[in-house]
Structure 1
């Protein structure tokens, strides 16, 4: 029985299948459903868990080469929110692009982890290193 780290078997299974240069999406509660990729839905109630909760849980054992986010994230959120995300992604190159372009990357991901995050455009695509 696992005692530490990620305990959710669906998240563990998904992470185990992400290989070098594959991508994984961590999305907020309003992100659309993508039937062509596996989705693990962790949403419970508003903001439990958040995108940053999931990122912090997987980061110790997931090598991130780069991240994509919607440029609208920068416009729609406070400096404090942007700083929390920047701190959580410290040391990782982050590329911002229009949300429409961001969504075009989603179908090629190995999977998507949906959270209950209410932060506007909190979605991110992680590329494994």
Structure 2
């Protein structure tokens, strides 16, 4: 059995395959997932698992270079937006954060290696994590 925080084998496998700048999206229960993009569906029921719990578990195993967030998250879900930014700052002050319109965010998810769907019901609870390198 794995010792690290992230126990989900599918998510772990995807992270192990990522190269520099490859993208992995973590989304709420409602984000449309493009055809042809791998879906890792963790959603069990409303709020389970939560967005931030999932992001923290993934971030414990993934080297993150930058992230993309929908602009709308700032105004629609300000507490979650600040919690996400604080968690990213705790990982590294060097993580670049880019805000884009939600429609652009959704279109950009087609470039993700995989999308991890949570049970989160908070509006705009989505983030695309772009892989860094450990050397």
| TM-score normalised by L of structure 1 | 0.91
8 Å Cα contact 2:33-2:115 kept in structure 1: no
TM superposition shift of 1:28: 0.4
Q: 2:105 aligns with which of 91, 102, 112?
A: 102
3-state secondary structure, aligned to 1:68: strand
Equivalence for 2:42:
42
Matched residues in 2 for 1:21 and 1:85: separation?
A: 20
For structure 1, the residue ranges without an aligned partner over 5 or more in a row are: none
Cα-Cα RMSD? 1.4
For residue 63 of structure 1, what is the aligned residue in structure 2?
A: 63
Q: How many residues align?
A: 128
Gaps of 5+ in 2: none
Where 1:105 maps in the other structure, the secondary structure is helix
